[in-house]
Structure 1
Amino acid sequence: MRVLLLALVLAGCAGGGETAPPGADFGPDPQLTAPHSQLIPTVKVAPAVGWRQGAAPTPAPGLKVQVYASGLNHPRQLYLLPSGDVLVAETAQPPSPAPKGLKAWFEAHFMKKAGANVPSPNRITLLRDADGDGTAETRSVLLEGLNSPYGMALVGQTLYVADTDALLAFPYRPGDTRITAPARKVADLSAVQPNYHWTKNLVAGPDGALYVAGGSNSNVGEKGMEIEADRALIQKIDPATGAREVYASGLRNPVGMAWEPQTGALWVAVNERDEIGDSVPPDYMTAVKAGGFYGWPYSYWGGHVDKRAKPPRPDLVATAVTPDYALGAHTASLGLAFADANVAGLPPTYTGGAFVGQHGSWNRSVPAGYKVIFIPFRGGRPAGGPQDVLTGFLDAKGRAQGRPVGVALDRTGALLVADDVGNTVWRVSAAAPTRP
């Protein structure tokens, strides 16, 4: 018991090594501090407390925020249907065996404190704002009995859902509020224990394929590479046959995916590895190169070698693609959505760029993330620093009132944000013009 208590104290106070200046771990050329060996990982959790009555996150100047839907159960991912209805995946990590070892126990304990490791609702809920006032006045359970669902994509009259262990297909008719037909399994997805990064995201491609992202089964391959088969990659899957190929690999935890509207390129937001410092390596977003290898577990940010990965693979490191844009270390950048030039629900400032939902750090001495940011684009490429869109998820005591995850644009072009601690979907739009 004394050893355990000592470890808890050390974990709460562990330093994160050299720290980059604020903002230096963002952009196309981030400042990478030297990796810092940590016997015990830094743990600084923002306890999840939820929003008090009437409270809300803080929008940037020129914006307003309202409740689109509240009283949800761990909403994580959003998807806009052609009708304007919004699907929300209410989901969480599936059950797993009790953690083995002190380090694993630590992580499970603090993740629960942060609002994770809760029972998964295992459903997809449909939200409908029929009168266009920015609040969903009706909701219905479209699908239930799923297995930690996350990604959703509608192609014609088929709704595809990425559970943690399978890509599923369901018949869908416009206007449906409930689907009772059994699923057709398109393909199995790896859920080998401990199923460390359990989310499987999904986008439909213009080529008719489905692109499915899944994260690694460990931090840096420390559990052996055998359990990493079909992990840390984006797969391209034929929806008719289930045939698959690796589209890109070496992506530790690719979550948010979206097509950039000007170039048609697939972009992904990736959570990088832990336990080598507060400022290294940064999470990132990047245009995905077909066949590209992005380093995990052998290197990060291109060719920066991670000496913890055994045995080393200099042959793979030599091919590692450097990402396009750093999103800050340990920000847990999970949501990604693009605004094109036709966005009417937001000011012109927010056209031609990417919105990123940053869930927030749990393993950094100074918290990072816990907000939604906007990265301006020009010519299909990032063209400026991050701009805060929605903040205030941490209260004055450093507690998490909410944590943003998935982001999507509604039919008016306003921004929707899933908040899995606040159990709310927020809607961010242009503020009403002020009278002179």
Structure 2
Amino acid sequence: MIRSILLIGMLTIALSAGDAGAQPQQFGPNPNLPEPERGLLPNMKIPRPANWGNDLPKVPSGYKIQAIATDLKIPRQTLLLPNGDILVAEGSGGYAPNVRPKDVIAGYIKSLGKSSVKGGNRLTLLRDADGDGAYEMQGVFADNLDAPYGLALVNGALYVANQDALVRFDYRDGDTKASGPPVKVTDLPSKINHHWTKAMTASADGRFLYVGIGSNSNITERGMDAEEDRAMIWQIDVQTGAHRPYATGLRNPTALTIQPGTGQLWAVVNERDEIGPDLVPDYLTSVKEGAFYGWPYSYWGQNVDPRAQPQDPEKVAAAIRPDYALGSHVAALGVAFSTPAMGPDFSEGVFVGMHGSWNRDAPVGYKVVFIPFRDGKPAGDPVDFVSGFLVGDGNTRGRPVGVTVDPRGALIVADDLSNTIWRITKN
């Protein structure tokens, strides 16, 4: 055991030697894609957890931030209910066995940047009864779930995407606890569960749920059989539970949302690793029905990834480019469209929660950014909206996940490292 720990420590030092020559992060519709860098092992370095103390995350001038819930158990995604209550999905999933020595090392490195708290496998309800922004009520709405992540409310039913199944609770406005156990709507792919999160949103008309299902590997290390029904977004009929692939080739679609006014589905997607600190950019994209986005055969359109074997030239030829690069390894896990109530500088666009890198020397992500839109599409560079998580000694005090916009003028951010829900409003 001691020898193993020493070996991992030596590898950690060796792997964090630096990203000499690394190019700047790429943003926008036409990112600069460097040549792939292959080696025995990728760079692996993650900021360690640090305490907030009396500090707070940084927000733009004219805005304020406060913690409205603390001491949670790995908060991931949030849902704003019609009466203003907030539901928080808490949990941690995945049970993929290691298949390569580098998986053992990567798992150890990743664990250094996580909370020591055990996932709650529950939904917590927050209520601000007097409207002062303090959310004085915090209680368990439902427990005994299995790594809940995606949340949606449709026609009086609350849908929860566990890591293994889509389930439903009856919901009446103002409920503080579930009235009974959940009803299973349909199973979700859960064998191995290398990427376990099941992001979810509902169509504008409430007929369908869209569920993001990540791949079972970085780049098909377990073979293509393990990728059946994976790396795609399902469309699920709310009434029957019947499902079909809506779009494919998305390595890990970690957050989904519907664009107001258009009904267009958008997603943020975490791309592949192990070909350099600046490949491949995670992205924000509108999701086109029936489209193929490249994984595993190619990235950012038709850039071939030779690690995926056997190759499929027809698939590569059909692969479409995403709309907007967010930067490589930022680990985007949250997305939400803004409203005019968020203020003139942040009224049209999306907020994206970036959980942060574990596999490059200079950390990236670890913040919430705003992507401005014009004429319904991304237009301009990201603007830091919630930052200050990283501290100068190479540690971090938080890791943003889900983001939710309250149309009354607040951004809700789940932080699964400090186990906090943050609320940002105008002064």
Q: Which amino acid aligns with 1:368?
A: V
Q: Is the 8 A contact 1:18 1:33 kept in 2?
A: no
Q: Is the 8 A contact 1:125 1:142 kept in 2?
A: yes
Q: Which amino acid aligns with 1:11?
A: L
SS in 1 for 2:353: strand
Partner of 1:79: 79
Partner of 1:115: 114
- Give the distance between the partners of 1:201 and 1:264, measured in 2 at CA: 17
CA deviations 1:357-390 (Å, max 9, x no partner) are 0111010121101111001111110111110101
SS in 1 for 2:395: coil
Matches within 5 A, 1:5-404: 6-13=10-17, 16=19, 18-21=21-24, 23=25, 25-52=26-53, 54-94=54-94, 96=95, 99-115=98-114, 119-193=118-192, 195-207=193-205, 208-341=207-340, 343=341, 346-404=342-400
Q: Is the 8 A contact 2:19 2:362 kept in 1?
A: no
CA deviations 1:40-99 (Å, max 9, x no partner) are 1110110122322x22111122221111212212111011011110011111124x3664
Q: Which has the larger displacement, 313-322 or 67-76?
A: 67-76
- Give the distance between the partners of 2:413 and 2:72, measured in 1 at CA: 13
- Give the distance between the partners of 2:394 and 2:424, measured in 1 at CA: 23
Displacement of 1:314 in angstroms is: 1.1
SS in 2 for 1:10: helix
- Percent of matched pairs sharing the same residue: 49
SS in 2 for 1:59: coil
Displacement of 1:352 in angstroms is: 1.1
CA deviations 1:199-236 (Å, max 9, x no partner) are 00111113401111111110011110111111111000
> May I ask how many residue pairs the two structures share in their alignment?
422
Q: Which amino acid aligns with 2:367?
A: K
Displacement of 1:411 in angstroms is: 4.6
Displacement of 1:249 in angstroms is: 0.6
- Give the distance between the partners of 2:403 and 2:230, measured in 1 at CA: 24
Give the 3 Å change call, closer, same or farther, for CA 58–5 of structure 1 in structure 2. Answer: closer
Task: In structure 2, list runs of 5 or more residues that go unmatched.
Answer: none
- Give the distance between the partners of 2:217 and 2:242, measured in 1 at CA: 26
What's the RMSD between the two structures over aligned residues?
1.7
Partner of 1:434: none
Displacement of 1:240 in angstroms is: 2.1
SS in 1 for 2:49: coil
Displacement of 1:174 in angstroms is: 1.1
- Give the distance between the partners of 2:261 and 2:408, measured in 1 at CA: 19
- Give the distance between the partners of 2:150 and 2:385, measured in 1 at CA: 24
Q: Is the 8 A contact 2:96 2:194 kept in 1?
A: no
Task: In structure 1, list runs of 5 or more residues that go unmatched.
Answer: 432-436
Q: Which has the larger displacement, 234-243 or 323-332?
A: 234-243
SS in 2 for 1:7: helix
Displacement of 1:422 in angstroms is: 1.1
Q: Is the 8 A contact 1:50 1:421 kept in 2?
A: no
Q: Which has the larger displacement, 410-419 or 381-390?
A: 410-419
- Residue 417 of structure 2 is aligned to residue 416 of structure 1: no
- Give the distance between the partners of 2:346 and 2:400, measured in 1 at CA: 18
Q: Is the 8 A contact 2:170 2:179 kept in 1?
A: no
SS in 2 for 1:293: coil
SS in 1 for 2:16: helix
- Give the distance between the partners of 2:185 and 2:289, measured in 1 at CA: 22
Q: Which amino acid aligns with 1:353?
A: G
Give the 3 Å change call, closer, same or farther, for CA 218–97 of structure 1 in structure 2. Answer: closer
Scaled by the length of structure 2, the TM-score of the pair is 0.95
- Give the distance between the partners of 1:10 and 1:312, measured in 2 at CA: 33
- Give the distance between the partners of 1:71 and 1:58, measured in 2 at CA: 21
Give the 3 Å change call, closer, same or farther, for CA 308–18 of structure 1 in structure 2. Answer: farther
Q: Which amino acid aligns with 1:31?
A: N
SS in 2 for 1:200: coil
SS in 2 for 1:316: helix
Q: Is the 8 A contact 2:190 2:196 kept in 1?
A: yes
Give the 3 Å change call, closer, same or farther, for CA 128–50 of structure 1 in structure 2. Answer: same
SS in 1 for 2:36: coil
Q: Which amino acid aligns with 1:155?
A: V
- Give the distance between the partners of 2:121 and 2:244, measured in 1 at CA: 28
Q: Which has the larger displacement, 379-388 or 411-420?
A: 411-420
- Give the distance between the partners of 1:12 and 1:123, measured in 2 at CA: 36
Q: Is the 8 A contact 1:93 1:119 kept in 2?
A: no
Give the 3 Å change call, closer, same or farther, for CA 8–385 of structure 1 in structure 2. Answer: closer
Q: Which amino acid aligns with 1:285?
A: L
